[in-house]
Chains A and B, each alone.
Chain A
Amino acid sequence: MIGWSGWGLAFKFIVFPGFLFSVVVGLVLTWVDRFVSARVQWRKGPPFYQPFADLLKLLLKQTIVPKGASKTIFLCAPILGMASMCITSVLLFYVNFNPQGSFVGDLIVLVYLFALPPLAIIIGASASRNPLSAVGASREMTLYFGYELPFLLAILVPVIKSGGAIRLGDLVTAQQAGGPFLYSVSGVIGALIVLASIQAKLGYVPFDMAEAEQEIMSGVFIEYSGVGLAMFKLMKAMMLFLLPLFLITMFWGGFADWWAIPKFLLIVVLIILIKNTNPRFRIDQALKFFWFLLGGFGILAVILAFSNL
């Protein structure tokens, strides 16, 4: 990202592809989530301004720091998660509209940035000095180690198919020249693995054991109130926007034309339907599912990608 002036850079990070834009789109998507869930359960569902009202209310509520908690870390953890999502948003958008403008290795940076939200959740939950929070944090950690292996294997598929490009811009250009990577056997397997990892990264139902509302009372977020909770909600909303965008960029041709928007909505609705039609896994079942089943398929996808299938 060379050649941007200071104000332009600030604008990009704070307003257009960065913070404000991704927050607004993410909040609208959380409404889509709640509306589709309501329709699946044969309900009317909340009005469209519901996530904005929730956010406004949370920002004005009292923020409680539990007695004995590590105050600075407890309050800084949500900022860490949200900041990582802002940078991710700028990188992903920049790559889609200007494929040659990014730097070499931004794919690796993105993988690390997507690892920061679970890290922020674990740090915040551990700092809150609540036993249920600690249970949630340990589950989140186990889950993270579970899905990261198949996720990385699946991400290798586009890299191999494009001839070893680790720049997102090169991946997008390769797909615009030779068709999306999704339209091949290894691409389908890789995209499905990434879809399952997205479900786990978002903490949605089959993989929501870290915040299981019925057993550990929203676990990792149990001690958060007011602004801290609002920031974690925002982080989740931005992830709901950015993770499907990442899937489209890697496998389904990027934002080459306006067809990307129906594709994007299709993936989001698919995630919501999976969320609404599945029971929760136990943490050991989730680990087995990710390591042994999806890990095996990931290796298969990598082998298929090497043999040009």
Chain B
Amino acid sequence: MSKLGLWGLKKSPWVYHVAAASCNNCDIEILELLTPRYDIERFGMVLVGSPRHADALLVTGVLNRKSLPRVMEVYEQTSKPCLVVCIGTCTCNTNIFRNSYNAVGPYDKYLPVDVYIPGCPPKPEAMITGIVKALSKL
């Protein structure tokens, strides 16, 4: 991708929130990310309603047998290039569910993950730092 195009992608990453069976704790922290207190629109990030518009997928929750095909479908529906941002320890290494009969492993076994943001749940500051660092490395 050209330098100008890269600049465009870096300055306006629209995010889509994929809640794949999480305990809702990370989801609540993501919602907090969008409040006026943290204001991620400073970096051009906007929450969009459709994966077709998205540039970054914020995935939360431990991946299990039911949610795996859904997450893959959402990833296929997203228009490329797109980032995959793993939010929460569950998404990074399945956390306390490692020995569960239903958990099928961390996301990077199935998707090209760009950012890992561990924490249970991670703080909004940590998410902002993670995404901004990932964008500045593009």
What are the residues of chain B within 8 A of A225 when measuring CB–CB?
A: 52-53, 79
What are the residues of chain A within 8 A of B4 when measuring CB–CB?
A: 56
What are the residues of chain B within 8 A of A64 when measuring CB–CB?
A: 52, 77, 79
State whether the Cβ of A213 lies closer than 8 Å to any Cβ in chain B.
Answer: yes
CA distance A34 to B45 in the complex (A): 12
B41 x A34 contact (CB < 8 A): yes
A223 x B9 contact (CB < 8 A): no
State whether the Cβ of A163 lies closer than 8 Å to any Cβ in chain B.
Answer: no
B52 x A53 contact (CB < 8 A): no
What are the residues of chain B within 8 A of A54 when measuring CB–CB?
A: 8, 12, 44
A60 x B8 contact (CB < 8 A): yes
State whether the Cβ of A42 lies closer than 8 Å to any Cβ in chain B.
Answer: yes
State whether the Cβ of B1 lies closer than 8 Å to any Cβ in chain A.
Answer: yes
| Among A44-52, A176-184, A253-261, the stretch in contact with B | A44-52
CA distance A57 to B2 in the complex (A): 11
A46 x B52 contact (CB < 8 A): no
- Size class of B's contact patch? 20 to 34
Interface residues of B in 1-48 (CB under 8 A from A): 1, 4-5, 7-9, 11-12, 36, 39, 41-42, 44, 48
Interface residues of A in 193-214 (CB under 8 A from B): 213-214
CA distance A217 to B80 in the complex (A): 20
In the assembled complex, the CB of A39 is this many whole angstroms from the nearest CB of chain B, namely 10
State whether the Cβ of B50 lies closer than 8 Å to any Cβ in chain A.
Answer: yes
State whether the Cβ of A61 lies closer than 8 Å to any Cβ in chain B.
Answer: yes
State whether the Cβ of A38 lies closer than 8 Å to any Cβ in chain B.
Answer: yes
State whether the Cβ of B112 lies closer than 8 Å to any Cβ in chain A.
Answer: no
State whether the Cβ of B49 lies closer than 8 Å to any Cβ in chain A.
Answer: yes
Quick one: closest A residue to B13, CB to CB? A57
State whether the Cβ of A63 lies closer than 8 Å to any Cβ in chain B.
Answer: yes
B42 x A56 contact (CB < 8 A): no
B48 x A53 contact (CB < 8 A): no
B8 x A53 contact (CB < 8 A): yes
Within 8 Å by CB of B7, from A34, A53, A63, lies: A53
CA distance A213 to B80 in the complex (A): 22
CA distance A75 to B53 in the complex (A): 16
CA distance A50 to B8 in the complex (A): 9
What are the residues of chain A within 8 A of B48 when measuring CB–CB?
A: 213, 218
A222 x B49 contact (CB < 8 A): yes
State whether the Cβ of A277 lies closer than 8 Å to any Cβ in chain B.
Answer: no
What are the residues of chain B within 8 A of A55 when measuring CB–CB?
A: 8
B53 x A218 contact (CB < 8 A): yes
State whether the Cβ of A229 lies closer than 8 Å to any Cβ in chain B.
Answer: yes
A46 x B79 contact (CB < 8 A): no
Interface residues of A in 236-271 (CB under 8 A from B): none
A57 x B9 contact (CB < 8 A): yes
What are the residues of chain A within 8 A of B77 when measuring CB–CB?
A: 64
State whether the Cβ of A221 lies closer than 8 Å to any Cβ in chain B.
Answer: yes
B8 x A224 contact (CB < 8 A): no
What are the residues of chain A within 8 A of B52 when measuring CB–CB?
A: 64, 222-225, 229
CA distance A249 to B53 in the complex (A): 36
CA distance A47 to B43 in the complex (A): 8
State whether the Cβ of A72 lies closer than 8 Å to any Cβ in chain B.
Answer: no
B80 x A62 contact (CB < 8 A): yes
Quick one: closest B residue to A215, CB to CB? B49
A61 x B44 contact (CB < 8 A): no
What are 13 A-to-B residue pairs whose CB atoms are below 8 Å?
A: A38-B39, A41-B36, A43-B36, A44-B41, A44-B42, A53-B8, A57-B8, A57-B11, A63-B79, A218-B48, A222-B49, A225-B53, A226-B79
Report the 7 A-B pairs with minimum CB-CB distance, sorted nearest first.
Answer: A56-B8, A217-B49, A53-B11, A57-B8, A225-B79, A225-B52, A43-B39
Binding site for A on B (CB under 8 A): 1, 4-5, 7-9, 11-12, 36, 39, 41-42, 44, 48-50, 52-53, 55, 77, 79-81
Binding site for B on A (CB under 8 A): 34, 38, 41-47, 49-50, 53-57, 59-64, 213-214, 217-218, 221-226, 229
